[in-house]
Amino acid sequence: MAELYVGLMSGTSLDAIDCVIVDFENGIELKAAQSFPLSKQLRQEILDLCSPGENEINRMGILDRLLGKDFALAVTTTLTRASIDASSITAIGSHGQTIRHNPNSINDPSFTLQIGDPNTIALETGIDTVADFRRKDIAAGGQGAPLVPAFHSAVFADKAPNAALLNIGGMANVSLLEPPLLGYDTGPGNVLIDSYCLKLFSRNYDDGGRIAASGKINNTLLSDLLSHPFIDKQAPKSCGREEFNDEWCSPILAKYQLEPADIICTLTEFTALSVVRGLALSGRNIEEIIVCGGGAFNQHLLARIAYHSNKRITSSEHYGVAPQWMEAIAFAWFAQRTLKKEYSNAPSVTGASKQLVLGGIYYAR
């Protein structure tokens, strides 16, 4: 019997809602996958909520519902195009859109917040929906992130026991599969590259890393960027737009008079080196780096990671999982874990006090 789940992901890049339909009956079979780009306006409204501002509760409440509707539409559209009936889906796993991630508050309790109302998703699709995967890990003293290492381990540990998974989304995170499982964010993935591609070249991202490849590295700027305290911080650690954003980056860039392509090149080098330094923090002997996330398509970035790490870089595609769908598939898997009442956080990764069943279930009835 097929065991169909839907996975929904919209990450820090704010590029798109990714929707997958997965059959877990025998391993992972991707039945359908589709990406729904976020409109410019929606993207800006989310971005505005990622930092403190006026009238936040009202704006968040509205966006929570709007995103819930968009997530539901992504699911129904993907189902229709794949000719799969909603009644054959066991559940949806929806990550939601992170608008704030503060896992390290010193005086106040830490928190993380994802929006995209799961009640709306459940009602409008008619499918039970699992959401809010991160907050229980935070409640148990963990970072609530990254969560995907548990999934990476479940899928890749047998096939590549000494590998590191590298997910390059808006932020970048690594999973070191050799037990005990380790995983943490290493710093920015595409977030700064994307932002300055838009400002300097009116493009949403640096396709294939071609702009970066045409520029030169400015080493002084690079060391300035690398001095961000997150880069060499010991795990457990996770980051977001709170740490790596234009307000942080622009004043640093302003100190240098650089050609636009040199800026993109140096920002790309910053991502590459923070990943490689991050991997080194583990002290592990890694045989191979398996990449996923949209950054896996930035050839120049991958070449720079290979150059600095001296490791073999493989796309997750090579192991049968398309890099751009990895995270959405992961949240389909997390939903399955929740329904089966199985643990899905990895305390060795997040620093949580114990293993937990993550997520809340929102029934369609």
| Residues of this chain that bind ligand ADP (CB under 6 A) | 11-13, 15, 169-170, 190, 194, 205-209, 293-295, 297-298, 327
What are φ and ψ of residue 82, in 5° steps? Answer: -90, 0
- Based on CB atoms, which residue is closest to ligand ADP, 128 or 241? 241
Min separation Cβ 13 and ligand ADP, Å: 3
Of the pair 128, 238, the CB lying nearest ligand ADP is at 238
> Which 8-state DSSP code applies to residue 209?
G
Q: Work out how close the CB of 141 gets to ligand ADP at its nearest, in angstroms, rounded to a whole number.
A: 25
Q: Which amino acid is at 252?
A: I
Q: Cβ of residue 205: shortest distance to ligand ADP, in angstroms?
A: 4
- What angle, rounded to 10 degrees, do the helices at 118-125 and 56-81 form? 30
Give whichever of 309 and 333 is closer to Mg ion, judged by the CB atom: 333
Give least dist CB 13 to Mg ion, A. 5
Q: Which two tokens stand for residue 92?
A: 């949806």
Give the CA angle between residues 200, 221, 196 to the nearest 5°.
20
Which of 4, 6, 7, 15 is the binder for Mg ion (CB under 5 A)? 15
Q: How many Cα atoms sit within 13 Å of 3 on the Cβ side?
A: 12
- Running DSSP on this structure, what letter comes out for residue 133? -
Cα–Cα distances in angstroms (integers) from residue 337 to residues 133, 342, 344, in the given order? 11, 5, 6
188 contributes a contact to Mg ion by CB under 5 A:
no
Of residues 9 and 155, the one with the C-beta less far from Mg ion: 9
Using alpha carbons, select from 267, 264, 312 the residue that is nearest to residue 291: 312
CB 98 within 8 A of CB 12: yes
Which of ligand ADP, Mg ion, none does 71 bind, CB closer than 5 to 8 A by kind? none
| Count of other CB atoms within 10 angstroms of residue 226 | 15
* Chain residue whose CB lies nearest Mg ion: 11
CB of 180 to ligand ADP, least distance (A): 26
68 contact, one of Mg ion, ligand ADP, none, CB 5-8 Å limit per kind: none
Nearer to ligand ADP, 151 or 347 (CB): 151
| Beta carbon nearer to ligand ADP, 84 or 264 | 264
How many whole angstroms from its chain centre is CA 149?
11
What residue ranges bind Mg ion (CB under 5 A)?
Answer: 11, 13, 15
